[in-house]
């Protein structure tokens, strides 16, 4: 999971979402806002709705490659996901910054799962509403889930490129206790480590990135024209699972094989 590019909606769609959100916010009770928000989102998030067609277009542009999911980077993204669930936060149901494009296997289990950090010392508090429970506001606190629209997930997470290709909580002075709780929660709720196919896909991507960087270096050393080098770079960036590439850039000094490649092509550190 990497931070998504900050793209804006065109004015007309942005205004529509704002109007729709204001209508929900104006309802008197929390329960009414939850109910209306869910109902109105369902009826507007359709192929016939020009605003949502545009929303999906722009969310697609944020995705890697062939519209890969913004959480797992693996499956096709085909669901407008509310980062803060609409079942709990009706004030975010039509909020542009609360959307990303996700796949069913990510969106399904996440559903209305959510947690916040609250109290002193700060603790993780699950605010998911149990089935049949009264519709009341969740406990206040700051969201636990890492938000790739506004935050860099790699501030919180570290990908093991040596053995497991699993994510871990990043161990760095800048990572606070709150960040650790959030990283751990995000990995669990999105199942980023316990889906075997994701781990396998990251391992494969690593091999492909390394091979493509090797080809680039060979071409460069043979004096290939810039246009050919650019094509190799573009092909490398289409491999997918870009978290793997970002981690190869960040961790290259730890691995002699990678370091040799990046030393030969230091420009690749900025791709």
Residues found near Zn ion in the complex (CB under 5 A): 69, 71-72, 103, 106
Q: How far is the CB of 26 from Zn ion (least distance, A)?
A: 34
> What is the chain's alpha carbon radius of gyration, rounded to the nearest angstrom?
21
For the bound state, the minimum distance from the C-beta of residue 240 to Zn ion, rounded and expressed in Å, comes to 12
Which residue's CB comes closest to Zn ion?
69
Closer residue to Zn ion in complex, CB, 106/187: 106
Instruction: Closer to Zn ion by CB, 106 or 248: give it.
Output: 106
Nearer to Zn ion, 62 or 72 (CB): 72
What is the nearest approach in angstroms of Zn ion to the Cβ of residue 71? Answer: 5
Evaluate whether 120 touches 68 at the Cβ level (below 8 Å).
Answer: no
**Nearest residue to 149 (alpha-carbon basis) of 8, 248, 20:** 8
Between 197 and 238, whose beta carbon lies closer to Zn ion? 197
CB of 46 to Zn ion, least distance (A): 22
Half-sphere CA count of 32, side-chain side, radius 13 A: 7
For residue 105, the minimal CB distance to Zn ion (Å) is 6
Phi, psi of 265 (to 5 degrees): -140, 70
Comparison of 73 and 268: residue with beta carbon closer to Zn ion: 73
Query: The dihedral of CA 215, 216, 219, 224: what is its sign?
Result: positive
Asked if 148 contacts 98 with a C-beta cutoff of 8 angstroms, the reply is no
């Amino acid at each position: 999971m990497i931070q998504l590019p900050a793209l804006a909606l065109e004015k007309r769609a942005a205004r529509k979402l704002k109007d729709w959100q204001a209508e929900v916010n104006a309802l008197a009770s929390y329960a009414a806002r939850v109910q209306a928000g869910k109902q109105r989102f369902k009826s507007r998030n359709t192929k016939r709705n020009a605003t949502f067609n545009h929303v999906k277009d722009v969310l697609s542009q944020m995705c890697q490659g062939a519209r890969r999911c913004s959480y797992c980077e693996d499956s096709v993204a085909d669901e407008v996901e509310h980062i803060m669930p609409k079942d709990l936060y009706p004030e975010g149901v039509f909020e542009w910054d609360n959307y990303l494009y996700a796949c069913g296997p990510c969106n399904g289990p996440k559903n209305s799962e959510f947690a916040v950090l609250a109290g002193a010392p700060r603790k993780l508090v699950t605010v998911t509403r149990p089935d049949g429970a009264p519709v009341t506001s969740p406990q206040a606190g700051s969201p636990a889930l890492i938000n790739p629209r506004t935050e860099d997930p790699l501030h919180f997470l570290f990908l093991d490129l040596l053995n497991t290709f699993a994510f871990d909580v990043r161990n760095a002075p800048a990572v606070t206790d709150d960040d650790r709780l959030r990283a751990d929660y995000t990995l669990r709720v999105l199942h980023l480590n316990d889906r075997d196919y994701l781990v396998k896909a990251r391992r494969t991507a690593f091999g492909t990135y390394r091979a493509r960087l090797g080809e680039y270096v060979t071409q460069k050393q043979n004096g290939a024209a810039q246009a050919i080098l650019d094509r190799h770079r573009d092909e490398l960036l289409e491999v997918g699972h870009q978290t793997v590439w970002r981690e190869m850039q960040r961790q290259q000094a730890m691995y002699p094989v990678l370091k040799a490649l990046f030393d030969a092509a230091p420009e690749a550190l900025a791709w």
